[in-house]
Amino acid sequence: MPTRAFAATSPTSPLGPHAIERREPTPGDVEIEILYCGVCHTDLHFARDEWGFTSFPVVPGHEILGRVTRVGEAVTRFSPGDPAAVGCLVDSCRTCASCKADQEQFCLGGAVFTYNGEDKHLGGMTYGGYSEKIVVDEAFTLKVPAGLDPAGAAPLLCAGITTYSPLRRWNAGPGKKVGIVGLGGLGHMGVKFARAFGAHTVLFTTSEGKVADGKRLGADEVVISKDEAQMEAHAGSFDMILDTVSADHDLNAYLNLLKLDGSLVLVGAPPNPQPVSVFGLFMPRRHLSGSLIGGIAETQEMLDFCGEHGIVCEIEQIRIQQINEAYERMLRSDVKYRFVIDMASIRA
C-alpha cells in the first residue's frame, strides 16, 4: 500500500515528504492509522547518521499511537476502532532465550526495530512512525489504557519504557536515593517514575531554567551539574543514577556520586566514546551499566502502570512540517519535554 511519510534521504538533508510502501495485513497483523508520534533524540541521531549505521532513506518515529483500521483474521486482541500503540520493536525470532525471557530487544536472532530494521515482509528496511499508517504483528502491538491522553501517552512507547525498565531493574523505590541526569524526553519520565516508585529523586540538569519544572515533575532535589559545589555535596550518596544525556559529558562526575555498590546506568547514547576513570569504579566498588528500551511485556506493564497512576508525558504538539525546526530545538535542550507530531498534518 502506498503510504505518505516523512524521511531523511541523507545525513545532511532535512526531512521531507516521501512515499513508502506498507504491506497488506497478514492474518496476524494489525493495521494502525497513526494519530500521534513522539520525537525521540534517537530519531535525530538516525536522521543525521550520528551512530554510523543509518540506511537511507530513513523514516524515523518509534513512539506511535493510533487507531486500528483493519485486522488479519487470526488477530484476537484488537478490532477496528481500538486504540493501539507501537514502540521501538516490531518483530523478533520469538524462540531464543532472550525472546522467551520477554527481552525481545536483546533477541539473539536480531530484534526487528521499528525503523532502520530489516523488513522481513517486503525486504529493505522498516519505516517508522513519521507516516500515516503502519502494519504490525499483533504480538508487537500494545494496548493503550483508557483515560490516558493519546498525544501525551505516545512518548511512553520509548521515553517511558526506557526509563521505567532500568528503574524497576535497579529497584528504585522507598529508601533509595536515585539520580536522573538530563531533563529531556527520557529524563522527565525518569523523574516521574522514580518519584512514583517512592525513591528519593534527584534531578541533574545543565539548564538553570529547568529547576522549577524538575521539582514540579517530582524531583525532591535539583542539582545544577555545572556547579561543582552542588555536585560535591552529593558525593558517595546515590544507590543509582540513570543517565539520559545525548551528547558528550563527564561520566566520572556521576560515578563519584555513587555509594558502595551503587550503579550508574546509561541510557543516553552520545555518538562518541565517553572516558571512564577506573579509580572511580574501584573506590569504593561501583557499577557501570547500560539499558536498552524494554521488552513487550514490560512495555505493556509500564503502560498499565501509567493508566493506573494517570502518568503521561509533558508534550508540545507540532505538525510534521515543523520536524526540522523541532530537531534544532531538541539539540538546544529547548523542549518541554517531548515533541509529539499530530500526524493528521501529514494528510493535510
Residues contributing to the site for ligand NAP (CB under 6 A):
40-42, 45, 158-159, 162, 182-187, 205-207, 210, 244-247, 249, 267-269, 291-293, 330, 333, 335
HSE, CB side, 13 Å, CA atoms: give it for residue 7. Answer: 21
CB closer to ligand NAP, 147 vs 271: 271
Candidate list 96, 139, 231, 269; residue touching Zn ion; CB under 5 A: 96
Instruction: Quote the least distance from Cβ 40 to Zn ion, whole Å.
Output: 3
3-state secondary structure of 51: coil
Q: Which three cell numbers stand for residue 3?
A: 503510504
Q: Which three cell numbers stand for residue 183?
A: 531533563
CB closer to Zn ion, 118 vs 208: 118
Instruction: Quote the least distance from Cβ 108 to ligand NAP, whole Å.
Output: 18
Count of residues making up the chain: 348
Applying the rule CB under 5 A, the residues between 101 and 120 that interact with Zn ion are 107, 109
Instruction: Quote the least distance from Cβ 244 to ligand NAP, whole Å.
Output: 5
Alpha helix stretches (DSSP H) within 170-268: 185-196, 211-217, 228-232, 251-255
Applying the rule CB under 5 A, the residues between 149 and 178 that interact with Zn ion are 158
Instruction: Find out whether 106 and 292 touch, Cβ atoms under 8 Å.
Output: yes
Closest residue to bound ligand NAP by CB: 184
Residue 309 CA to residue 331 CA, distance in Å, equals: 31
The option from Zn ion, ligand NAP, none interacting with 280 (CB < 5 to 8 A, set by class) reads none
CB closer to ligand NAP, 236 vs 290: 290
Applying the rule CB under 5 A, the residues between 29 and 58 that interact with Zn ion are 40, 42
CA-wise closest residue to 178 among 263, 120, 100, 103: 263
The option from ligand NAP, Zn ion, none interacting with 45 (CB < 5 to 8 A, set by class) reads ligand NAP
The option from ligand NAP, Zn ion, none interacting with 178 (CB < 5 to 8 A, set by class) reads none
Instruction: Quote the least distance from Cβ 80 to ligand NAP, whole Å.
Output: 31
Alpha helix stretches (DSSP H) within the chain: 41-47, 97-100, 150-153, 159-169, 185-196, 211-217, 228-232, 251-255, 278-282, 296-309, 323-331
The option from Zn ion, ligand NAP, none interacting with 183 (CB < 5 to 8 A, set by class) reads ligand NAP
The option from ligand NAP, Zn ion, none interacting with 234 (CB < 5 to 8 A, set by class) reads none
Q: Which three cell numbers stand for residue 115?
A: 525503523
Instruction: Find out whether 286 and 280 touch, Cβ atoms under 8 Å.
Output: yes
Instruction: Quote the least distance from Cβ 209 to ligand NAP, whole Å.
Output: 8
Q: Compute CA distances 301 → 106, 142, 188, 246, whole Å.
A: 18, 10, 19, 26
Applying the rule CB under 5 A, the residues between 125 and 144 that interact with Zn ion are none
The amino acid occupying position 17 is: P
Alpha helix stretches (DSSP H) within 170-207: 185-196
The option from ligand NAP, Zn ion, none interacting with 217 (CB < 5 to 8 A, set by class) reads none
CB closer to Zn ion, 93 vs 281: 93
Instruction: Find out whether 199 and 219 touch, Cβ atoms under 8 Å.
Output: no
The option from Zn ion, ligand NAP, none interacting with 114 (CB < 5 to 8 A, set by class) reads none
CB closer to ligand NAP, 42 vs 114: 42
Candidate list 49, 70, 93, 322; residue touching Zn ion; CB under 5 A: 93
C-alpha angle with apex 37: 33 to 38, nearest 5 degrees?
165
CB closer to ligand NAP, 50 vs 91: 50
CB closer to ligand NAP, 57 vs 184: 184
Regarding 5 and contact with Zn ion (CB under 5 A), the answer is no
The option from Zn ion, ligand NAP, none interacting with 247 (CB < 5 to 8 A, set by class) reads ligand NAP
Regarding 313 and contact with Zn ion (CB under 5 A), the answer is no
Residue 66 CA to residue 85 CA, distance in Å, equals: 6
Instruction: Find out whether 218 and 240 touch, Cβ atoms under 8 Å.
Output: no
